[in-house]
Structure 1
Amino acid sequence: MENGKFQFFKGVRNCFNMIYLHDKRYLFISMFMAIFQGIVPSISLLVSQNIINNMQTFSKSVKEILVLLIMYLIINIIPSIFQSFYGYYRIKFNKNFEKHIETMMLEKSLTLSLKDFEDDNTYDMINRAQSQKGFNITILSENLISIIRESVSTLSLIVVLSQFQLWLIIVVIVIPVLKSLYSIKLGKEQYDVSVNRTWKERKAWYIDYLLSKGYAYKEIMVFRIGSKLINHYKKLKEDIISQDMNIAKKNFIATLLCTVLDSIVSAGIIGFIIIQGILKKILIGDATTYIQAVQSIKDNVESIFSLFSSVIQDLFYTDLLFKFLDYNCKEDSIEHIKIFEKIGDINKIELINISYKYNHSSEYSLKNINLTLNKNDPIAILGKNGSGKTTLLKILLGFYDDYEGDILINGKNLKDIEKDEYIRKVSCMFQDYIKYEATLKENVAMGDVYKSNLEEKVKSKLKETKLKPSIYEEDGLETILGTWFGKKQLSMGEWQKVAISRTLMKDADMYIFDEPDSSLDSEAGNELLSLYKKTFENKIGIFITHHIQHAKKITNNIVVLENGKLLESGRHDELMDKKGVYFNLFCNCK
């Protein structure tokens, strides 16, 4: 219980701190409005009570009653004016705050490692947090402020009702309290269900994406899997709906029972007040005021507990957001803060006894790799699928740092080097390169957005990769590629040339090309070989390919991987003389 209270107050504090740091005025303005709006209804009720009683008893002149009417009018108009200004201010705050949270989440995403995105549990956490964004925090803060408003209103109404019968208050609030406590329990149950079924919701979203975005249209049509995917989607949705309806059923039964009992109790209380009026123990204005006070107290108490239930539910969800933002954030003491080294140009890279295995795997993907990379001595890496080429590439790029062995950059350990400094000096075309739904200029310029004279350099790189000018002759570099925002879809080979151009935009010390010829025909692939050789001049170069003929034309330094081991390395003729794996690969490619 104590832990639950601690988590509640911690969650509220985190939300308010985030709002306060974004806009200090918002909380103070909202608090003032809550107190103001909480007091006004009771004042309005007392003024109307006074007016009706005076009309009944004729104890005041018409002029005095008119003054009371003007007061009543002012009391009701001013809050409406304030609320209009506050409503506009709140909308503006919510929009900016949501943008602030979304930006924080995007910035946080940049700090995650590749392994985080490859881990199911972490990815689920990211997915759950992204579904919340800043929405739940603003709703939670508004609900808490509403609780303050309703509490102030309830207390002021209790003062009004205490002039009549104080015991009525206890009778009024019993059923709303019981109903609200049960709602809180159901809210916790709904949260647990939502968290546990995240993978189902993600799966349903993915099927929706495949079917509605055209991403997998060709395979869906050819393999006739559309109906199977839809049936799977329906099954997932039915499971989700079934869980929600189970909770909705419980809520329906509880609400129905409480509503009936509440109506009976309310009717009894109102009847009691009316009888007191008939017996002339109270005036008509008093009776009207007390009936309204009883109803308002009942509504306020129900609203307070309903809001409190929502706050608890919102806290469950905002906790997902804070877990994401706090993920892997370690507040190390000054003694334990690691100072990373900076490096100049990358002249030499040494891989010493590098081994690696993925989480939850007992098999090594790389085993005792020893390799030296030098300027002006590019290497070609060959190997079958699953030989470890991609894993080696990820380690070289610093995406994985839980490998065994050492990687030395100019004699310095890669783990001691500032990653951002290192990655600035590396350019890589990935096998699964991105086809940005953006202009041709933006697609290529992504390689180095900090360059000046971007347009001329983009044109230069497109010319080097021999992308057909006819593709963009109508709108030039502003041609929008893809079909999400434009109408120009490229062939896989053309997309690959765009990706190669993007890689060449960056002035790097090391260039890596992972299967740059996988979608190119033999003629187009051969045309670009001289470009790769030129790019590798006075640079560290890595060329990963299945085309052995291309590898031997680019470099004399060839490496062969198989089952995570570096089996062979050397010149083409040396490897052919060994009649090993390389020899067999070469013969099979003829």
Structure 2
Amino acid sequence: MSLGERIKITKRGFGILRKYCPGLAEQKALYETIHSLQPFISVWFSARIVDELINYCRKEYIATYVISLIVINFICTVIQNVLLHVCNEKESQMWNWFEKVFSDKQMSLDYDDLEDVSIQKQRQEVEENLFMFGNGLGQLVWGTSVIVKVFINIFVALLMSGMLFISKSGQEMVDHPIWIVIILGCITLCGFSNYKATRKENSLFMKWCDNSLWFNRTFMFFGHELYTNLERAKDVRIYRQDTLAIKKIEELEEWGNAEKKNSFYMSFFPAAAGFIVGLGNCACYLFVAIKAFLGAYGVGSVVQYISVLTRLGDGIRDFMFMVSDNELYCTHLKKMYDYLDIPNHMYQGSLTVEKREDNEYYIEFRNVSFKYPRTENYVLRNVNLKFKIGEKLAVVGMNGSGKTTFIKMLCRLYDPTEGEILLNNVDIRKYDYKEYMSIFSVVFQDFKLFSFGLGQNVAASFDYNEELAKKCLEKAGFYDRLQRMRKGLETSIYKDLDEEGVEISGGEAQKIALARALYKNAPFIILDEPTAALDPIAEYEVYSKFNEIVQDKTAIYISHRLSSCRFCDVIAVFDDGQIVQRGVHDKLLQDTHGKYYELWKAQAQYYT
């Protein structure tokens, strides 16, 4: 990876940090600036104090240096403690904000990419590298301190060590300028050895991370989720799946023991580099001592030069480490950018959807065929269907017949592979996407509610119309339960965010989801198995009030219970991705060779 590309990647990374963790990088940089300058300040004042004690003994100067040192250190310490507290607080929260980076991308992805297994795996690998090891953005945050520390250590150390080479000892060989090159070369060589060791260590670390991803993923499932996920609790106990987990964890432990050699190799190279650095420091200290012995400067300057040369060596080594580490986290950042830069290929129209009081919206499927991305088999084939205004349409068929895909196409979660879908004789792709989505209220079979207030769940918003929310809950059959709730619409659903929240049954949750669809008041309402979790009495109430619930809206109703389709105006029967029959219940039953009759007979035999 070229230097220019790494600079570009790093710059973009800081841009992401500024957006999602504002102030974190800047405050860490300020903290490190003060933290790195403070030792130099202490060394300079200490050197002056030592010189005064040995050579001059001027009490007013000594007092001035001591008081100045104490005051400056006190101010620096106070500022550092404040910044450290702020940085620690923000750094503890940054992982939540990093999750927001992926959440925002998830929301902007085309739905077909969202369901794409390869893209899901791509996101999972990037997330695991970030949240398990800190690779990428985490390293960038921690590397901010290193960048500042490197700059200050090298720049200030060079300034403060200048007199080391200018001061004359009277010995031509010792005072020769070649020693500048030798000392700086020695320090640079130490830094380079540290750079090579870090690169080797990072190379091993990359391989270890790749090998450890499956380990962490497997351990999180068998060692944590299998036991803590309540949805799995019954199966774990009935089938003693914990015994399988224990066996798997033992295998993981064996793998972990075998991988310990990598830890040795990763620690060996920095240790070898540390030995070389120690030799280089000894050479530098020896040069400082010889010049002092020959009278080039006093004892106080010895303290100063030894300290700043050590800092200079640290700065150059940290610079080499920073260059190597930057290459590592740029590799991970690039993988994250590859995911974040997945383009939206769904056509984005600009037409507005006309707001009509009379709900005069027509939708037509015209020769629509569809196959999922990167597959060859068609899920829908030559579907032709036109919705009449206010029509109650039931969609039935066996599992895998194309019913759910048909609904996804209608909501434009997918675009047709062939053919077109029209809204008022205009291709739906030409409409603004959000505008088009606004005309649908949907209750999916796998709907989700949030741990917010009941009213907020119904309105899908923090602000809501109380009267309208109550009316929708009443229509959905939830009003009696609402009356028993002490906080009414302010009652929190579930206890995730509120200890006084209430737990609700699957049937009650389905009623709330139905009320949410009614609250939106869209001209099209889509119900995917809307009574699947309801008891027979509650189901009867929904069916008997169905026309009252949907009123003059166009309703599309998906169900496996054919007896519940009687109240619909038209029934569309799907089979193998095609509409094979269309008509009313009684007429479809007359065709004893039809698919609907076959499905009806298969169900009816269990009720007679």
What SS does the corresponding residue of 2:363 show, helix, strand or coil? strand
State the Cα deviation string for residues 284-308 of structure 1 (Å, max 9, x = none). Answer: 2233333323322233333333344
Answer with 7-16 or 119-128: which moved more. 119-128
Amino acid of the structure 2 residue aligned with 1:11:
I
CA distance in 1, matches of 2:482, 2:220: 34
Tell whether 2:579 aligns with 1:566. yes
1:363 counterpart residue number: 377
The SS at the match of 2:369 is strand
- Out of 344-353 and 411-420, give the one that drifted further: 344-353
Partner of 1:587: 601
- 1:252-307 Cα shifts (integer Å, max 9, x gaps): 11122233343344345435544655566653223333332332223333333334
Q: Which residue of 1 aligns with 2:10?
A: 12
Work out the CA distance in 2 between the residues paired with 1:153 and 1:292.
12
1:561 deviation in Å?
0.8
Match of residue 149 from structure 1: 152
Question: Superposed, which structure 2 residues align to 1:21-40 within 5 Å?
Answer: none
- Structure 1 stretch displaced more, 535-544 or 219-228: 219-228
Matches within 5 A, 1:123-272: 123-127=120-124, 128-129=126-127, 131=131, 135-163=138-166, 165-166=179-180, 167-191=182-206, 194=209, 201-202=216-217, 204-205=219-220, 208-229=224-245, 231-232=247-248, 235=251, 245=260, 247-267=262-282, 269-271=284-286
How many Å separate the matches in 1 of 2:45 and 2:66? Answer: 8
Shift of the 109–233 alpha-carbon distance from structure 1 to 2, 3 Å rule, reads: farther
Question: Would you say the 8 A contact 2:368–2:416 is kept in 1?
Answer: no
Please tell me the residue identity of whatever aligns with 1:123. Answer: Q
1:544 to 558, 572, 586: 558
Give secondary structure in 2 for the equivalent of 1:343: coil
1:106-117 correspondence runs (5 A) = 106-117=103-114
Tell me the amino acid that sits aligned with residue 110 of structure 1.
Answer: M
Of the three residues 536, 557, 562, the one matched with 2:570 is 557
Match status 1:315 vs 2:312: no
Aligned equivalents of 2:114, 2:251: Cα separation in 1: 27
Equivalent pairs counted in the alignment come to 578
Q: How does 1:384-395 map to 2 (within 5 A)?
A: 384-395=398-409
Deviations, residues 204-245 of structure 1 (Å, cap 9, x unaligned): 5455334313132223223332332454466568757866x4
> What SS does the corresponding residue of 2:201 show, helix, strand or coil?
helix
- Look up the match of 2:480: 469
- Taking structure 1 as reference, are residues 499 and 405 closer, same or farther at Cα in structure 2, changes over 3 Å only? same
> Using the alignment, how far apart are the partners of 2:253 and 2:458 within structure 1?
40
Is the contact made by 1:39 and 1:156 (CA closer than 8 Å) also made in structure 2?
no
SS for the counterpart of 2:2 is: helix
Q: Which residue of 2 aligns with 1:55?
A: 53
- 2:511 & 2:69 partners in 1: Cα distance? 75
Provide the C-alpha distance between the structure 2 equivalents of 1:135 and 1:260, rounded to a whole number of angstroms.
Answer: 29
Could you tell me how far apart the structure 1 residues matched to 2:268 and 2:375 are? 49
1:109-161 residue CA offsets vs partner (Å, 9 max, x unmatched) = 32122222212332234342584796555434343233322332333344254
Give CA-to-partner distance per residue, 1:311-353, whole Å, 9 cap, x none.
Answer: 44343344444444433269x9xxx985344334452111011
Give the Cα separation in 1 of the matches to 2:20 and 2:505. Answer: 46
Contact 1:352 1:369 in 2 (8 A): yes
Q: Unaligned regions of 5+ residues in structure 2, if any?
A: 168-178
Return closer, same or farther for 1:339/1:464 CA change in 2, 3 Å cut-off: closer
Alpha-carbon distance, 1:408 to partner = 0.4
Mapped partners of 2:188, 2:483: distance in 1: 71
The letter for the 1-side match of 2:270 is T
Give 1:106 deviation, angstroms. 3.7
TM-score (norm 1): 0.84
How far apart are residue 547 of structure 1 and its match? 0.9
- Contact persistence 1:383–1:560 (CA under 8 A): yes
- Quick one: distance in 2 between partners of 1:108 and 1:241? 38
Counterpart of 2:172 in structure 1 is none
Query: Structure 1, residues 534-578: CA drift from partner, whole Å, max 9, x if none?
Result: 3343221111001111102x2131111112121111122222222
CA distance in 1, matches of 2:77, 2:119: 47
Distance 1:411 1:387 in 2: 27
Give the secondary-structure state (helix, strand or coil) at the position aligned to 2:47.
Answer: helix
2:137 matched to 1:122? no
Is the contact made by 2:392 and 2:568 (CA closer than 8 Å) also made in structure 1?
yes
CA–CA separation in structure 1 for the residues paired with 2:257 and 2:361? 59
Contact 1:38 1:152 in 2 (8 A): no
| Residue 312 (structure 2) pairs with residue 301 (structure 1) | no
* Structure 1 contact 158–297 (Cα < 8 Å) conserved: no
SS of the residue corresponding to residue 153 of structure 2 reads helix
Task: Please report how far the alpha carbon of residue 100 of structure 1 lies from its aligned counterpart in structure 2 after TM superposition.
Answer: 7.0
Q: Summarize the Cα distance change of 1:27–1:264 in structure 2 as closer, same or farther, 3 Å threshold.
A: closer
Shift of 1:482: 3.5
How has the CA–CA distance of structure 1 residues 184 and 288 changed in structure 2, closer, same or farther, with 3 Å as cutoff? same
- Kept in 1: contact 2:478–2:508 (CA 8 A): yes
1:481 aligns with 2:478: no
Deviations 1:24-79 (A, max 9, x none): 99988887877776666445434433432343334x63334444444544554454
Instruction: Name the % identity.
Output: 21
CA distance in 2, matches of 1:195, 1:442: 43
1:502–1:191 Cα change, 3 Å: farther
- 2:174 paired residue number: none
Which residue identity lines up with residue 117 of structure 1 in the other structure? L
- Determine if the alignment matches structure 1 residue 529 to structure 2 residue 526: no
